[in-house]
Structure 1
Amino acid sequence: MVEHTREHPRLTKTTPAGQRLPLELGTLFVPQRVTQKHGVRLLFFFHGGDWLPQLAISRQHNMAVVTVQAGAGSGSYTKLFTDPGRFSTLITEAEAKSGITFSEIDLGGWSAGCGALRQILNDPASYDRIHRVLCIDGVHTGYVNGKPGPLESQIETGNLDVWLRFGRDAMANKKRFIITHSEIFPGTFASTTETADYLLHEWSLKPHPVVRWGPMKTQMLSEVKSGGLLVVGFAGNSAPDHVDQLHSLPGYLTWLMK
């Protein structure tokens, strides 16, 4: 089903000027206007293609990005970091090839790409290095009985433990954490709304209903702020609504850097 009432604008594909350096995993992009060798933030972004995260980063100040694509399904991204040392090795390689000592390391992912974020954060050393995390409509988990319930579903909570921890650190202003979710109901695994509801309950937070426009003419339905934590719910239960959130990345990055 596709809803036709709201517009679904898309960013124009462009190739911002800068260095593109292939890494053992993914591509490092350093915008042309980033000329200093210190004080530069590095974002790892998963499952968003290359040009769109690069465009979003080029609009930020002193920021570079490593883009990684691994195929469909969060499992393909989780498997990338079964070796907990791989993430640190990628940072070292990015610094060596660019000649930049990155001051802060951030994570971002859309949809299935959030599987990589979860796996990276499950490593204590990597967790400590991460300052900010952006999960775009991609915090999922399974159902206890493999299917949703007739009313409230029982979801598997083990995959959500690291999000709970990072959220608590964000609420204490030790980290910065943004989660967005839509009304899409996959059916075979828990939706991003179901996981957001669970996380908010565990954080003792309640979503506030809102009706206002978000980035790229998306329609915000709920919002929760606490310290460095922001959880935003958006209207839409179709594929274009899901893609709307990816194209909202420039706006989300502005929120993330506040």
Structure 2
Amino acid sequence: MLRYLVFSALVLCLSCKSSNPTGMNQQNPSPMVEHIRPHRRVDGSGFEGRKIPISGIFEKEPLLLIPDDIPQEPVNLLVHFHGDESVVAHAMAENKGWAAVVVNLGNGSSAYGVPLVNPENFDSLLLAVNKQITKPIGKIYLSGFSAGYGAVRAILKTRNYELIEGVLLLDGLHAGYVPAQTPMARGGQIDNKDLAAFKKLAADAVKGSKTFVFTHSSIFPGTFVSTTECADFLLEATGILREPVLREGPLGMQQLGVSVEGNFKILAFAGNTAPDHIDHLHGLFHFLRLLEDEN
């Protein structure tokens, strides 16, 4: 429990970008508690398998999770950026036919993006995984929670785009305003270049050649583009409308909207607090199923 409280206290910093040239300023603070929704948490205790550190690629070692009951047929590989390994372990326990790599590189999307600008680092990670998994790897998926989208974006901008079957973003996709720190309500505009890679991915997902699932909360950072605004940007770019809904999501989350076209899916959820944000990470086991639910 203490781990999750500490994680909640840090979550806003983790969601922000750093102040280097590829980053943005820290967001306006959001409430750290919320008492309407249950905010249930998973702990990975049901995972049975091997946990193998992978050294020599990044400053912090990724952790490979290989379930004991992994099937003989080609294995789906999930490369997840940002989040406690126990949450990913729970997702592996709840979804058969998957192995996963958990990559935690620090605070802010730049901490994730910069190391993946060089495609050889991702190549090395996949090579190391292949050496440990004796069964053939079929489809490769990326997932990113919060600041982890920085790594996903960097990979999508390289030649490795062609290797990726699909992407899952868990309340993590941001951009800068132009002028900087000027919200749209005050005349600012979204910096399109920050979302160009995801705009391409969304278009390919609509056509069915990729899969793209994006979940977002209602948090409004103020100093940079919110996940809701990023979702609106992608919906406008693809010509897809939001469908309002009111239903319960995983672990007691409250879903407010859905947009689906081809293999592109956006799910909108209530909440503007740190616990609401963390809900998306702990819902990984549920959202992961949407990657295989192709139209």
For 1:110, the aligned partner's letter is: F
Q: Map of 1:160-199 to 2, 5 A cutoff?
A: 160-199=195-234
2-side partners of 1:103 and 1:169: how far apart? 20
> Could you give the per-residue CA deviations for residues 71-116 of structure 1, whole angstroms, max 9, x where no partner exists?
1110100012121121122111111123232111110010001110
1:32 is aligned to 68
Q: Does the CA contact (< 8 Å) of 2:43 and 2:90 recur in 1?
A: no
1:120 is aligned to 155
Count of aligned pairs between the two proteins? 256
Q: Does 1:144 align with 2:178?
A: yes
Q: Does 1:4 align with 2:4?
A: no
Q: Does the CA contact (< 8 Å) of 1:110 and 1:138 recur in 2?
A: yes
Q: Once the 2 structures are TM-superposed, how far is the Cα of residue 209 of structure 1 from its aligned partner?
A: 0.9
> Could you give the per-residue CA deviations for residues 186-243 of structure 1, whole angstroms, max 9, x where no partner exists?
1121100011111110111111111111111111111100011100110000000001
Given candidates 242, 259, 284, the residue that maps to 1:224 is 259
**Alignment partner of 1:255: what SS?**
helix
Query: Where does the alignment leave 5 or more consecutive residues of structure 2 unmatched?
Result: 1-30, 56-60
* TM-score, normalised with respect to structure 1: 0.95
1-side partners of 2:248 and 2:71: how far apart? 35
Change (3 A) 1:52 1:144: same
Q: Does 1:134 align with 2:165?
A: no
Q: Does the CA contact (< 8 Å) of 2:42 and 2:90 recur in 1?
A: no
Q: Once the 2 structures are TM-superposed, how far is the Cα of residue 151 of structure 1 from its aligned partner?
A: 5.1
**Alignment partner of 2:268: what SS?**
strand
2-side partners of 1:152 and 1:56: how far apart? 41
Query: Where does the alignment leave 5 or more consecutive residues of structure 1 unmatched?
Result: none
Q: Does 1:254 align with 2:289?
A: yes
2-side partners of 1:178 and 1:40: how far apart? 20
2:18 is aligned to none
For 2:70, the aligned partner's letter is: V
Deviates more, 1:54-63 or 1:107-116: 54-63
**Alignment partner of 1:85: what SS?**
helix
1-side partners of 2:79 and 2:228: how far apart? 24
1-side partners of 2:186 and 2:78: how far apart? 39
2:6 is aligned to none
For 2:179, the aligned partner's letter is: N
2:16 is aligned to none
Q: Map of 1:56-71 to 2, 5 A cutoff?
A: 56-71=91-106
* TM-score, normalised with respect to structure 2: 0.83
2-side partners of 1:53 and 1:131: how far apart? 19
1-side partners of 2:68 and 2:289: how far apart? 19
Q: Percent identity?
A: 38
Q: Once the 2 structures are TM-superposed, how far is the Cα of residue 173 of structure 1 from its aligned partner?
A: 1.0
> Could you give the per-residue CA deviations for residues 56-84 of structure 1, whole angstroms, max 9, x where no partner exists?
01221211000010111101000121211
> Could you give the per-residue CA deviations for residues 114-162 of structure 1, whole angstroms, max 9, x where no partner exists?
11001011112x1111111100100101111112143564111101111
2-side partners of 1:77 and 1:142: how far apart? 17
CA RMSD of aligned residues (A): 1.4
**Alignment partner of 2:286: what SS?**
helix
- Greater than 2 Å deviation, 4+ residue runs: 97-101, 149-153
Q: Does the CA contact (< 8 Å) of 2:52 and 2:63 recur in 1?
A: yes
**Alignment partner of 2:74: what SS?**
strand
1:236 is aligned to 271
